């Protein structure tokens, strides 16, 4: 699924309603995803929780809570997983195109909070099992 974020306005007012930390995290993710214009697979970013925390000067737990709020409100989605140089697994985040927010929120209403599914997958396997997550799409 391609999500090219050129020439569209990010829903910053809606994100701001979630709090200042989700807004900070979303701004960084949106900026990175908007630069990802790889044809039919753009709109993603590989920012790690640790990297976001360092960039924003906040704790990892703060970033994780902000990501969960963004996930559950449809502003971002899990697109997959990548392995970094150290062998750790990083989630690949897809920023939801503003025109698709209602559809993603509807799917979340039916399937339940994505943050809960992500937590179950991580606890079970210590990494994101993408095929499990895609079964719900």
Model confidence pLDDT, tens digit, residues 77-133: 998 888 878 887 788 999 999 999 999 999 999 999 999 888 877 665 555 555 555
Domain that holds residue 108: 12-134
* 19 part of a folded domain: yes
Domains of the chain: total? 1
Average pLDDT over residues 13-29: 97
CATH code of the domain containing 35: 1.10.10.10
pTM, 2 dp: 0.83
Q: Which stretches of the chain are DSSP H helices?
A: 12-16, 20-34, 49-56, 60-72, 101-111, 114-125, 130-134
* 24 part of a folded domain: yes
* 3 part of a folded domain: no
* 1 part of a folded domain: no
* 47 part of a folded domain: yes
């Amino acid at each position: 699924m391609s999500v090219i974020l050129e020439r569209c306005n990010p829903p910053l007012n809606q994100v701001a309603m979630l709090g200042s930390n989700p807004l900070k995290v979303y701004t960084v993710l949106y900026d990175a995803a908007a630069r990802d214009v790889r044809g039919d697979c753009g709109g993603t970013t590989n920012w790690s929780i640790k990297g976001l925390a360092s960039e924003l000067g906040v704790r990892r737990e703060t970033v994780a809570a902000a990501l969960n709020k963004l996930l559950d409100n449809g502003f971002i989605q899990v697109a997959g997983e990548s392995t970094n140089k150290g062998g750790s697994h990083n989630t690949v985040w897809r920023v939801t195109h503003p025109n698709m927010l209602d559809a993603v929120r509807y799917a979340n209403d039916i399937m339940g909070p994505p943050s809960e599914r992500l937590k179950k997958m991580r606890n079970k396997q210590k990494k994101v099992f993408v095929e499990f997550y895609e079964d719900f799409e």
